[in-house]
A and B are shown apart, each in its own frame.
Chain A
């Protein structure tokens, strides 16, 4: 039995409860000759922050896209907030949201216009007040009436986050939420995500290459490699298992093919 299988069976038995925000069951995605996701299973409890770690091509983005319903799985099942995806997505899309470097918001429209349109798409009640609240929380007031295309990378990220929070989602999917941000802005975004989770008991699943970010934010880490789950536990437990002081060192062990046992041998 591989580590992936062990992790899968452990999770399918222990964590598949009706309260799970996301349930992924033996998910496979093939792109022609390439297997991007290889039979992964996991379940994510409501109100938790889970980090999806892995190198380029590990399958993180494809996994998140299948959870969102943007990519159809080759086989396997996904349930989000108790609904099958993509079959029942109409019941759930209004209760979730996402941010990703693979999408932008219309550049010629102002920040306020963009938020107005997405607010209407998500049927946000009292939209003017909601936009004012987000503008205050995310410090958007200074450029609320500026075209999105004229913003800096940091400002755009804050606007994308505002769009992702416009409907006060129960589930937030984030793909590299702080990529290309300076450390100060990145830290500010992380603090806001933590505050949002606490305030709304929201579930957050984030894919990231930033190990410090994952260590700071996440209750749990799922490490992926070549479409499979290499490890799945709390950040502290994973670091202890690999006998490493940081997740970055664990990441390098995984990326370079050292198993947790082998990693310990190297340390000795």
Chain B
């Protein structure tokens, strides 16, 4: 598995093999399944009640029903999408299986594609029940966002994959000592992505930074939809362009980090 083999044929058979590997793992471990469900459920319940409380006491939030619950669900798509990608990767590090994979005909692009599919599967297991809870407990129908939801989802999942690819490369290069980055990097962009408040709240110079992040466009777009009832296609297109750049950069970084790992021999000692 080398970076140079990247441009040869991609095998769906090998991608399926890797998806099957993670599926076997999920099905063999109820704590792993439970973990996918319980945190998103807690999130939506907590923020749902906050939304109810604020709506009862503030006229603006009463009109903009669902902005907090909508935001927390979209944030979970972003965060859980990245975790779904990265945890599947970490499973290989924890199992000391990465050497077996690197020595097999599996190519980096196939490995990453399998991780992307797994992030979608894990996301579906966690987020679909979350949206149903929001519907039954707080009468917020997430799917009533309609077609714009597809644009929101795609942009968030692309960002989550870009971050997931990059942090996986860091762990590959630096070993499990870098594992904490997997869990925390997404939180670094949380304040700038303006999940619960509009970009205009930020100081001018920070707004410039915020607009470099695709999730900022999505959360602004969500507020425009829920508050002003207008779909901002321009925001989604801008986010898509930035995401394309981020994905390309993260893939390049992954290959560079893989090469660096091969240079310093860290694939043989993937511990701390």
Contacts and interface: CB of A to CB of B under 8 A. Distances in A.
A68 B265 CA distance: 12
A62 B269 CA distance: 12
Nearest to B262: A72
Contacts of B28: 108-109, 147
Instruction: Say which size band chain B's interface belongs to.
Output: 35 or more
A120 interface: yes
Instruction: Say which size band chain A's interface belongs to.
Output: 35 or more
Contacts of B24: 108-109, 113, 117
A89 B104 CA distance: 10
B267 interface: yes
B105 A102 contact: no
A151 interface: no
Given A102-B96, A120-B14, A121-B105, A108 B262 contact: no
Interface in A64-111: 65, 68-72, 86-90, 93-94, 97-98, 100, 102-109
A250 B21 CA distance: 45
A102 B99 contact: yes
Given A89-B1, A90-B2, A103-B97, 15 more contacts: A65-B265, A65-B267, A70-B99, A71-B265, A71-B267, A98-B103, A102-B96, A107-B95, A108-B24, A108-B25, A109-B24, A121-B101, A122-B104, A123-B11, A123-B105
Contacts of B200: none
Contacts of A4: none
A72 B265 CA distance: 8
A243 interface: no
Given A89-B5, A97-B103, A116-B20, A121 B265 contact: no
B105 A122 contact: yes
A220 interface: no
Given A87-B4, A109-B28, A123-B13, A102 B262 contact: no
